[in-house]
Amino acid sequence: MNRPSPSQVTQILYFLAGLVLVHIVNFVSRMWFTQFGIVPRSIVGLRGIIFSPLLHKDWSHVMANTVPLGVMLALLSLSRGGSPWLITSALWIGSGLGAWLVGRPGSIQIGASGLIYSIAAFLLTTAWLQHNLKSGLAALVVVLVYGGMAWGLFPGRQGVSWEGHLAGAIAGLLIGMAYCAPVKASRGLSPASSQR
């Protein structure tokens, strides 16, 4: 795997610093911005699809998400060979929409963990379907370092949105399959049919 370029590293670090800055503003405002999280199956809750990954419950929540998110973004950048932001945007929206559809009624879903699960599932799916070294190494890091995340897909700790984790993982799986579909289709073409 090639190392990420300095600009990619800088972009990821700025994004992570932005998460911390948003939490500082939210903390100072006595968590006023938390209302902009995902409220499942409510019209007003749709805005949370955009804002939810930026909002966190407390300092331990934001810190617990910052490092894994940085690692996942770096792996995404390394395995795709370029900027991770277009894929991240699709995963962001997909995981948020999933949380909006399946989250517990009356809850407010916040935090970047759904996005983390989405990127992890995307990396695993693309490695499984593409069979190339970069994807495989990225998936190996996900399994070895963050394999324990799988427990977060099941009901467990109170106050933790396992539904958001599951929605993120499903979004990552589906977007990974869609991402790989054109590659698989082009490999299946014969030289004669590709010239038509």
All structural domains of the chain, each given as residue ranges with its CATH number in brackets, are: 6-181 (1.20.1540.10)
Asked if pLDDT for residue 2 goes beyond 70, the answer is: no
pLDDT category at 66 given cuts 50, 70, 90 is very high
pLDDT, average across residues 95-116: 95
pLDDT tens digits, 14-53: 999 999 999 999 999 999 999 999 999 999 999 999 999 9
Q: What is the pTM of this model?
A: 0.89
For the residues of 153-186, what is the DSSP string, one character each? GSS-STT--HHHHHHHHHHHHHHHHHHHHHHHHH
Q: Are 172 and 118 in contact (CB under 8 A)?
A: yes
Percent of the chain with pLDDT over 70: 91
Q: Please count the CA atoms within 13 angstroms of the CA of 49 that sit on its side-chain side.
A: 22
Q: Which region among 70-79, 149-158, 179-188 has the lowest average model confidence (pLDDT)?
A: 179-188
With CA atoms as reference, report the closest residue to 73 among 55, 52, 92.
Answer: 92
pLDDT averaged over every residue in the chain: 90
**What's the CA gap between 40 and 42, in Å, rounded?**
6
For residue 166, the model assigns a pLDDT of: 95
CA dihedral sign of residues 136, 177, 98, 153: negative
Task: Return all residues near 65 (Cβ < 8 A) that are at least 6 apart.
Answer: 19, 56, 111, 112, 113, 116
Task: Return all residues near 162 (Cβ < 8 A) that are at least 6 apart.
Answer: 152, 153, 154, 155, 156
pLDDT tens digits, 175-189: 999 999 875 555 554
